[in-house]
Amino acid sequence: MTTTQRGDVLASGDDGRPSSGEAKAAGQPPITPGAGLISTDWLPGPSDSTRFPVVVSFTDFHSESEQDWQQVAELGLRLAQSWPIMHGAVGLWLWGKPAECRGGSLSVWDSRSDLRRFIRWPVHAEIVKNWRGRVRVESVTWTDERFVPTVTWGRAEEHMRMPRHMSAGRQSGDD
């Protein structure tokens, strides 16, 4: 068993399977000190050994109240319980910026079709329907030729660090 610490990574080779060389996500992401961010540990999916190419989905929820923010965070944690069996999921970090009532996910997928399958999953679709108009949702999706956890987190953290301002009843994004 390997023990990891905050920001630790394990190794993976060019064939996408663990060996020496490329980083494999484990534990906490490399959060910039003082950014006001919190995160779950890396939640591996069934495709955790995949390294390239991958589809990355960053989702940012912004609520008007701390109570709504906490409820959305709890729903995210419940959804994450299904992560180990989510077809095509490489892994996931859930993140939060409590001072701004913001949070979301940084998920990594084998393909866009796997991501779309999750978005259309009835459990996820019902949550989106129930929260439409109550939170603002922004999302960004990109493809990385190679999954390097520190690089993926860094790109997402740029979005996390941008201030967001709530517009009542407005929702945007792919999800």
For 48-106, write each residue's pLDDT tens digit.
987 789 999 999 999 999 999 999 999 999 989 988 899 999 999 999 999 999 999 99
Do 130 and 4 touch, CB atoms closer than 8 A? no
Q: What does the domain layout of the chain look like in residue ranges?
A: 9-161
User: For residue 154, what are its two tokens?
Assistant: 């860094």
Q: Is 113 exposed, middle or buried (0-12, 13-18, 19+ CB in 10 A)?
A: exposed
Please say if the pLDDT value at position 125 is more than 80.
yes
Asked if the model's pLDDT at residue 135 lies above 50, the reply is: yes
What is the pLDDT at residue 84?
A: 87
Over its C-alpha atoms, the chain yields an Rg (Å, rounded) of 16
Fold of 9-161: Alpha-Beta Plaits (3.30.70)
Mean pLDDT to the nearest integer, 143-170: 82
